[in-house]
Amino acid sequence: MQQLIFGLANGSIYALMALAIGMVSSTTGIVNFAHASVVMMGAMVSWWMMVIYGLSYLPALIIAIVVSIVLNIVMYEACVKKLGNLQHNVGWIITLFGASIILDNTARMVFGTEPQAFPYLFEGKMVTIGDANILLHELMMITIAIVIGIVYQTVIKKTRFGRAVRAVAFRPSTAELMGIKSEYIILLCFAMAGAVAAVGGVLIAPITFASYTMTLSIGLKGFAAAVLGGFGNAKGAFIGGLSLGIIESFISIFIPAGIKDSISFVIMIVVIIFLPGGILSAKIFNKNGFASEKV
């Protein structure tokens, strides 16, 4: 039980990262290589607000969300928008990598190089389930991730904004002809991805500690989860993230900790080779009508 909850907790963060990556990927066709750095900035800003300015958890989180949204909007305007056709001009790879390096170094200069303890939700209290002692914070990580996933799916499926996002994801030029402002929709998707990044950063920071290097490994696993579920596939993001977290948690029982992180990338390589559309592109899922459309 302890390993399962720990795997689901970590997997929920991978799922949130994969979901945010998919928000941008589905509407632009690009991968935001700076996303992990935005997650880190969200955590560091929240820590700064709580420790330096004495704010409580929720106000600090709200400020972190605002900062992360602004960072993502600035990143879109400076690193993506000016490049024109993103399918033909792959300069976004360099600009987004550059943005990631700038954010990491900015965090190092502003917040320092030492990892900082980040407070748990509910002050680190635990509940006992069978023989397992489970942090309430871990249960909240899972709950919050599921709520965000459900809200996002509901917005995408049931609202005018969601229909606009799906139209832009399907064919931006046609969406423009139908009166949908594709650029505005893309900007909002970047903003939503920034908000989700801040929430993910604050949730994972108590486990990793808050530092400018906190997402070096987790960020790559978020990409692995996105690949596993299929880029732009909201349901796939959660299936990929949670599956990855559970697999990591249970495999760590049998293998040395030093090579545990490599498992995620072995799985990613296998999926890229055999199921480039993600696990939901497998025939077994399509046969049963389970595969979800990419959004």
Domains along the chain? 2-287 (1.10.3470)
State yes or no: pLDDT of 102 exceeds 60: yes
DSSP at 133: E
Q: Which tokens sit at 132?
A: 């397992």
Residues 209 and 216: beta-carbon distance below 8 Å? no
The reported pLDDT for the residue numbered 172 is 80
Q: pTM of the predicted model, to two decimals?
A: 0.90
Q: What is the pLDDT of residues 261-282, one digit of tens each?
A: 787 788 888 888 887 777 776 5
Question: Which whole number is the average pLDDT over 163-190?
Answer: 88
Q: What is the pLDDT of residues 222-265, one digit of tens each?
A: 988 988 888 777 888 888 899 899 988 888 888 776 677 787 78
DSSP at 292: P
Residue type, 177: L
DSSP labels, 17-57: HHHHHHHHHHHHS---TTHHHHHHHHHHHHHHHHHTS---H
CB-CB neighbours of 202 under 10 Å: 27
State yes or no: pLDDT of 183 exceeds 60: yes
